[in-house]
């Protein structure tokens, strides 16, 4: 048998179904054990009350087996009593009486539980089989507790989905009436539910809280078909609706012969008459303004021909000659038996409506302008862009010719013109806080107009300026000024629009000013950090070179000289002297490279014409062992006196890594506005994986040579200094082992016209 609690949701049935038998058995065993222990210890207490727990649970959840279970418990109880207290007749008699009571309790609880099950089944049958949709919900959380099949089918939810459903998910209007529901309930509410597929489902709803107040019950009936039938009925009874609305709408009943045959009270009042006799019998055209009569005649003829038109507007004349505007609707009642043909003319005074519409148009204009300005402003990240875009929108949408925005910081007494659009104006670029414009107009906190603009600002071509303050945290942070050369005032709605725009821009302007201050502070801090980092890096470079490279070179030179002195001059073959000299040359090269880097970083760049021929020839003459070949060139490039360092470092690298047998070839090629120079050698070459970064600082290749890799780094710095570039390649393309080729480009010097 399926066990369930009356207030239990179906989602918990499986867990509770297994938990109840366990609780019954456990409590029964505990009661038997407790009674046995007490009797064995000689304690005579009313321990049989413990049996009420398993008996009541069993009788409540299993009504048809409750008495049998109670009998089994009673038998167990008697057995325990006979085992531990058989010598006490009083205890045995007492046990028999208690057994009877236990059986009676089981019978009563089983009977009541069976009645409750029957009633629950009856109510659940009503709940599930009701033609209306019913759902139970929690008024505190808005969660659906239970929903019948009719309601779930109406909404398109499955039984599993209903268990996690919340009322606002299908009833959007629930949060608005949740409070009223707790007080008095809801009766006959016409609303729309949202089905699972997102479509609307019109329903008629009644809801009340259950007596305990912990759950609410709602009954809904779909009204889609009712509404369809009501629309049909409303269309068929249109004539009667017009008459019934006579209290609010004037009605003229005329015949096709242009005669008023009947009027209602509203029509008499609208035309200023004293009674029906003032209008009945008149020609309807006499009540229409002359300029609208032709249009009304055409409208009437179309209605008589069977066509239907939407209501139109017409100007009428009262009996005293004054005119008023009305919305007119004409309906034709065709002849039906003895009933003659009639035209029903309904009149609705729209004077107040026009006033409200005008106010709504002004309000819409206000919202439209403010929204457009705010939308344009929020799309701009920079304060100047925000002000420019906002001002352009404001001037364009309000129909002005000039606009300006002044901003002033709290710590400064000067307001600065940050944005301006439109025609030229003599407005100053800055303005002091004590200027009458700031003191008398901006501080007022409202829109003020300056009508004596030409006298206040000579040279201005506009007639007036309207000023609206931009609010900040501690008072105005600026103002927007708009002006025109043709207008001389701003309307009340435009004043509201200007104030609305300023209010919306206030927070953005304050944030923008703070952002500008922050950016300036960050820029200054970054600049100081960059300068400090650059200085520290340069100092570290010089210290590193001085303490490491030059120290290594000098140590090597001193070591070779010491060996030379110890071995004796006669025994030396000059090798130690050559090594000492090489170490000194290396030290000199490092010092020269450091000096070059200092000049590159501290000196200004002043380029001029330099002939490559003497520079390269001088280096070739320095190396007299004929290991350098050069074909010559007549190229003149833009450079300075450091151009020779490029060749010194490239040739020095080739000699250092190539050894005594290396051969170096220098070639120059002119290509348009560039001069390409290649220094190739027959050394070990540069591996492909090192070519992209061989010109970085401290890159020395794979060979174990001394030096800090400054040579090629200086070559790259000089090439970039002269507006060129440098790259590493192979002397024989595709064969790096046959030697390296370094190519760098320089800008060719082109003499100006007339220059020799």
Same domain, 417 and 499: yes
Q: In what order do the strands lie in the sheet with 144-147?
A: 144-147, 133-137, 216-222, 200-209, 186-194
- Pick the last residue of a domain from 80, 102, 127: 127
292 and 276, same domain (yes or no) = yes
- Judge if 586 and 672 occupy the same domain: no
DSSP annotation of 707 reads S
Q: What is the pLDDT of residue 709?
A: 63
What stretches in the chain show pLDDT beneath 50?
Answer: 1-14, 241, 244-245, 570-572, 700-707
How far apart CA 58 and CA 71 sit, in angstroms, is 12
How many domains are contained in the chain? 5
Domain that holds residue 151: 130-229
Q: Where does a domain end: 334, 349, 364? A: 349
CA distance 712 to 459: 65
In a domain, 477, yes or no: yes
Q: In this structure, is residue 709 part of a structural domain?
A: yes
Question: Do 570 and 619 have their domain in common?
Answer: no
Residue 434 makes CB contacts below 8 A (sequence gap 6+) with 413
Directed axis angle between helix 52-61 and helix 89-129, to 10°?
30
Q: Tell whether 97 is covered by a domain.
A: yes
Domain boundary among the residues 127, 146, 173 is at 127
The per-residue pLDDT for 1 is 33
> In the chain, what's the furthest Cα-to-Cα distance?
157
User: Is 755 a domain residue?
Assistant: no
Sequence-separated (6 or more) residues with CB below 8 Å from residue 631: 666, 667, 668
Pairing outcome for strands 628-630 and 664-671: parallel
In degrees rounded to 5, what are phi and psi of residue 220? -125, 145
2 located within any domain: no
As given in the structure block, the two tokens for residue 585 are 């040359």
Claim to verify: residue 693 and residue 742 sit in the same structural domain: yes
Same domain, 478 and 383: yes
pLDDT at 8: 44
Residues 48 and 136 in one domain: no
756 within some domain: no
Same domain? 222 vs 311: no
Same domain membership, residue 368 and residue 489? yes
Separation between Cα atoms, residue 404 and residue 413, nearest integer Å:
19
Cβ-based burial of 465 (10 A; exposed 0-12, middle 13-18, buried ≥19): buried
Global confidence as pTM: 0.34
Across 427-583, the runs of DSSP E, i.e. the strands, are: 430-432, 448-450, 464-472, 475-484
Task: CATH number of the domain at 185, please.
Answer: 3.30.450.20
Per DSSP, the residues of 480-497 read EEEEESS-----HHHHHH
Residues 520 and 578 placed together within one structural domain of the fold = yes
- Same domain, yes or no, for 463 and 362? yes
Considering the domain architecture, whether residues 429 and 555 belong to the same structural domain is answered as yes
Is the separation of the CB atoms in 358 and 369 below 8 Å?
no
Query: Is position 753 within any domain?
Result: no
CATH code: domain of residue 565: 3.30.450.40
CATH code for the domain of 672: 3.30.565.10
pLDDT at 677: 93
550 vs 556: CA distance, rounded Å: 10
Place of tokens 């030179």: 557
The two three-digit tokens of residue 210, written as one number: 């259950």
In a domain, 5, yes or no: no
pLDDT score of 742: 94
Q: What is the pLDDT of residue 12?
A: 45
């Amino acid at each position: 048998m399926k066990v369930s609690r009356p207030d239990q949701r179906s989602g918990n049935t499986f867990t509770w179904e297994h938990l109840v038998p366990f609780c019954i058995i456990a409590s029964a065993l505990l009661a038997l054990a407790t009674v046995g222990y007490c009797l064995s210890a000689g304690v005579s207490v009313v321990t049989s009350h413990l049996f009420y727990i398993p008996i009541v649970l069993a009788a409540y959840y299993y009504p048809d087996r409750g008495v049998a279970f109670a009998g089994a418990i009673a038998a167990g109880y008697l057995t325990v009593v006979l085992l531990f207290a058989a010598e006490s007749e009083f205890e045995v008699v007492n046990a028999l009486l208690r057994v009877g009571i236990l059986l009676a309790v089981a019978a009563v609880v089983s009977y009541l539980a069976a009645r409750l099950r029957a009633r629950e089944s009856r109510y659940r049958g009503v709940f599930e089989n009701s033609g209306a949709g019913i759902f139970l919900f929690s008024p505190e959380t808005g969660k659906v507790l239970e929903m019948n099949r009719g309601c779930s089918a109406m909404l398109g939810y499955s039984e599993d989905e209903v268990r996690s459903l919340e009322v606002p998910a299908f009833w959007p209007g629930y949060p608005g009436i949740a409070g009223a529901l707790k007080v008095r309930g809801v009766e006959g509410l016409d609303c729309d539910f949202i089905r699972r597929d997102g479509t609307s489902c019109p329903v008629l709803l009644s809801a009340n809280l259950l007596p305990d107040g912990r759950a609410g019950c709602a009954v809904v009936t779909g009204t889609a078909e009712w509404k369809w039938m009501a629309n049909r009925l409303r269309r068929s009874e249109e004539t009667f609706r017009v008459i019934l609305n006579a209290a609010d709408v004037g009605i003229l009943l005329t015949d096709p012969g242009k005669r008023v045959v009947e009027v209602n009270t509203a029509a008499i009042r609208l035309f200023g008459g004293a009674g029906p006799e003032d209008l009945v019998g008149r020609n309807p055209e006499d009540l229409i303004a002359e300029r609208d009569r032709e249009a009304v005649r055409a409208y009437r003829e179309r209605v008589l021909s069977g066509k239907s038109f939407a209501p139109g507007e017409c100007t009428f004349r009262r009996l005293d000659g004054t005119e008023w505007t009305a919305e007119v609707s004409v309906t034709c009642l065709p002849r039906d038996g003895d009933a003659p043909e009639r035209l029903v003319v309904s009149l609705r005074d729209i004077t107040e409506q026009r006033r409200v519409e005008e106010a709504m148009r002004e309000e819409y204009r206000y919202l439209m302008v403010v929204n457009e300005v705010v939308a344009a402003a929020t799309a701009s990240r920079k304060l100047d862009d925000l002000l420019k875009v906002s001002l352009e929108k404001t001037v364009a949408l309000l129909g002005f010719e000039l606009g300006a925005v002044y901003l002033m910081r709290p710590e400064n007494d000067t307001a600065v013109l940050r944005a301006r659009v439109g025609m030229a104006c003599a407005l100053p670029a800055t303005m002091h806080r004590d200027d009458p414009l700031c003191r008398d107009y901006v501080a007022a906190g409202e829109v003020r107009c300056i009508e004596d603009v030409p006298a206040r600002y000579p040279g201005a071509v506009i007639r007036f300026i309207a000023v609206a303050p931009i609010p900040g945290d501690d008072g105005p942070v600026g103002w927007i000024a708009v002006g025109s050369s043709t207008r001389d005032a701003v309307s009340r709605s435009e004043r509201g629009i200007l104030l609305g725009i300023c209010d919306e821009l206030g927070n953005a302007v304050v944030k923008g000013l703070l952002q500008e201050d922050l950016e300036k502070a960050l820029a200054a801090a970054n600049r100081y950090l960059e300068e400090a980092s650059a200085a520290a890096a340069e100092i570290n470079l010089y210290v590193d070179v001085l303490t490491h490279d030059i120290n290594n070179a000098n140590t090597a030179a001193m070591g070779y000289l010491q060996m030379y002195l110890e071995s004796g001059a006669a025994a030396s073959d000059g090798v130690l002297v050559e090594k000492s000299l090489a170490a000194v040359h290396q030290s000199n090269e490092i010092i020269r490279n450091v000096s070059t880097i200092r000049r590159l970083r501290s000196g200004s760049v002043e380029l001029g014409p330099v002939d490559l021929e003497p520079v390269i020839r001088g280096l070739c003459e320095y190396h007299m062992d004929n290991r350098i070949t050069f074909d010559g060139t007549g190229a003149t490039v833009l450079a300075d006196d450091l151009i020779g360092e490029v060749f010194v470092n490239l040739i020095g690298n080739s000699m250092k890594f190539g050894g005594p047998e290396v051969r170096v070839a220098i070639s120059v090629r002119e290509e348009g506005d560039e001069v390409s120079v290649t220094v190739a050698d027959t050394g070990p070459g540069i591996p492909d994986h090192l070519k992209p970064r061989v010109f970085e600082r401290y890159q020395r290749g794979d060979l174990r040579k001394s030096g800090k890799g400054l040579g090629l780094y200086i070559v790259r710095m000089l090439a970039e200094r002269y507006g060129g570039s440098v790259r590493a390649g192979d002397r024989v393309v595709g064969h790096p082992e046959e030697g390296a080729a370094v190519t760098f480009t320089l800008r060719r010097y082109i003499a100006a016209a007339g220059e020799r």
